[in-house]
Structure 1
């Protein structure tokens, strides 16, 4: 005769076997977890590859459209477009003012601060190379004014053909 403990143990064992063979329960596919995870990971990897390819294609198309709008070929070289006017080359830099040798008694420069360079703010010393602007007469160290005229202006994108003090044109008046 079976004891109640043994009957309960037998029923528990039968219940555990019934759950494992039941294909309709919530944990029925727990044995296929590795297979399901492999399918999910492969799907995510394929989606990532597709997204990266789509991104690269869109960037390529946008780059081509931008280059065509700018009038250049796909390789970046300028294409000849008969409908677009040719871009004029920038004007040559203005001629440099004549070079003078500064002396406190003999050199006459215009301006209230005629004894100092308005670019570097250093005083002129006897024997310094000085250039006086032909249109206004303001004087500067030769190296300072050469750099001033050679450096592109920040906003205009072109050379600064003017006096740093009064903005008079660097070229002599006609």
Structure 2
């Protein structure tokens, strides 16, 4: 099944193609400026949903105590997702450390041995960092320097990091 992000990408491509075919170049530029921001926010929101879900599933599976699960949801995850990562950093050590030093070192070793995975993490952090700047520096006036295609490429890499987290927390 196609993700909502893939649908957004295809809708943009269809609209851009139509506008250009009609000679509506300035409209195409306006649409691009808005869609780039929408895509970036959509990606960041999607990752938040996926990662909080991964953590919730992990805690539910490893703890039979509903109180622990409720505490996690109410105090650790609800409106706290953006504190889990150092968005302007180059790695996810802060996030990994939240699960203990043994877990952090184990996962860090997997990352250190895998250049592709490092690339996926940088893409994920890049999207999260841009999201933060955009929403905290006046969304409409924010000058997003990335093209639509660059954001799509970052997303295609970042989603592989999400897949890595899913596998890491399910083992």
Query: TM exceeds 0.5?
Result: no
Higher helix share: 2
Q: Which gives a bigger RCO, structure 1 or 2 (Cα 8 Å, sep 6+)?
A: 2
Shorter-chain TM-score category? under 0.3
Higher strand share: 1
Structure number with larger C-alpha Rg: 1
TM-score of the superposition, structure 1-length normalised?
0.22
TM-score of the superposition, structure 2-length normalised?
0.22
